[in-house]
Amino acid sequence: MCATGGPRCRQPCPDAEGPPINANQRAATADPELPAPRSPDAPSSWMMTADDFPLTERDLHVLCRTFRDYTELDHWLPGGEQYRRRAYQCFDLATARLAEDGPGALTAIDQPPPYVQSKQVNPVAGDIERTFKLIPPEHPATEPTRQIATAVARLLAANGVLSVQTTPHCLVDAHYMRLLAPGHPAPEGKHRDGLIAGSAHLIQRTNVTGGVSALYDRYDPDRELCGFVLENPLDSYVFDDERVLHYTTTITVTDPDAGAGLRDVLLIGFRKRE
């Protein structure tokens, strides 16, 4: 894994002109419950690849099948649009157990609370108690997803974004997002998720063009930090949501004669558990 700015990053983002900025996020104040800002010199985002996760081909196959068979239409898109399918899972993270127990520090929750983002960070679906198709703890996708979330949690803990002192317990949201081309991975524009940290992990990308991701300085949203495309399974990025905005460009079908275009991404979010 590497802090963004490494060899896999392409700068500037090919779509640097495009993404809108939610103006109310530019001036958004930090949640006082969240940890104090870290050093401005500390990394705020990281890249990971399949080598950073202990997943087998079978694990990836399980995840692919879950996206295909278990996601359902996202009813929360504006205008009744139907380009996104999704499923959801939630874990409890005991940060103190992370170093010794690894994935044992994360416990899948069978009845998680509704997912709510503020209108400030999500003008498209904020201030709504959203529920999604729930993946139960006994589902075979739970273990590979828990392994992915564990690797991300360890990275965040090693960089001080998570710690026993400031974030002893977190809720870890896992969003299984299938985007059908043409579609918008980030209808919110450049945005934060309103969390402590987040990550995105490509599961598969088939017959699509676009989907260029970029990260921006939260306090200077015109300043792009890094632009890249997640191309191979488990290509991933991780970000400190207090310091970074993120955005991904629209995807379109590459070859209309080659069937549907789709992009499956597992999104992980860390929020403080009250």
Q: What residues make contact with Fe ion under the rule CB under 5 A?
A: 193
74 vs 193, which CB is nearer to Fe ion? 193
- Run of H or E including 100: helix 98-101
**Which tokens in the block code for residue 240?**
């400190």
103 vs 194, which CB is nearer to Fe ion? 194
Instruction: Give min distance, CB of 179 to Fe ion, in A.
Output: 13
Instruction: Give min distance, CB of 226 to Fe ion, in A.
Output: 16
Write the secondary structure of 108-154 as one string of H (helix), E (strand) and C (coil): ECCCCCCECCCCCCCCCCCCCCECCCECCCCCCCHHHHHHHHHHHHH
Q: How far is CA 234 from CA 202, 237, 264, in A?
A: 5, 9, 11
Q: Distance between CA atoms of 156 and 270, rounded to whole angstroms?
A: 10
Q: Distance between CA atoms of 175 and 110, rounded to whole angstroms?
A: 15
Instruction: Give min distance, CB of 13 to Fe ion, in A.
Output: 16
Instruction: Give min distance, CB of 191 to Fe ion, in A.
Output: 6
Q: Distance between CA atoms of 34 and 258, rounded to whole angstroms?
A: 47
Instruction: Give min distance, CB of 244 to Fe ion, in A.
Output: 10
59 vs 188, which CB is nearer to Fe ion? 188
Instruction: Give min distance, CB of 246 to Fe ion, in A.
Output: 6
Q: Distance between CA atoms of 15 and 18, rounded to whole angstroms?
A: 5
Residue nearest to Fe ion (CB): 193
Say if residue 20 is exposed, middle or buried (CB neighbours under 10 Å; 0-12, 13-18, 19+).
exposed
Q: Do residues 193 and 208 touch, judged by C-beta distance below 8 A?
A: no
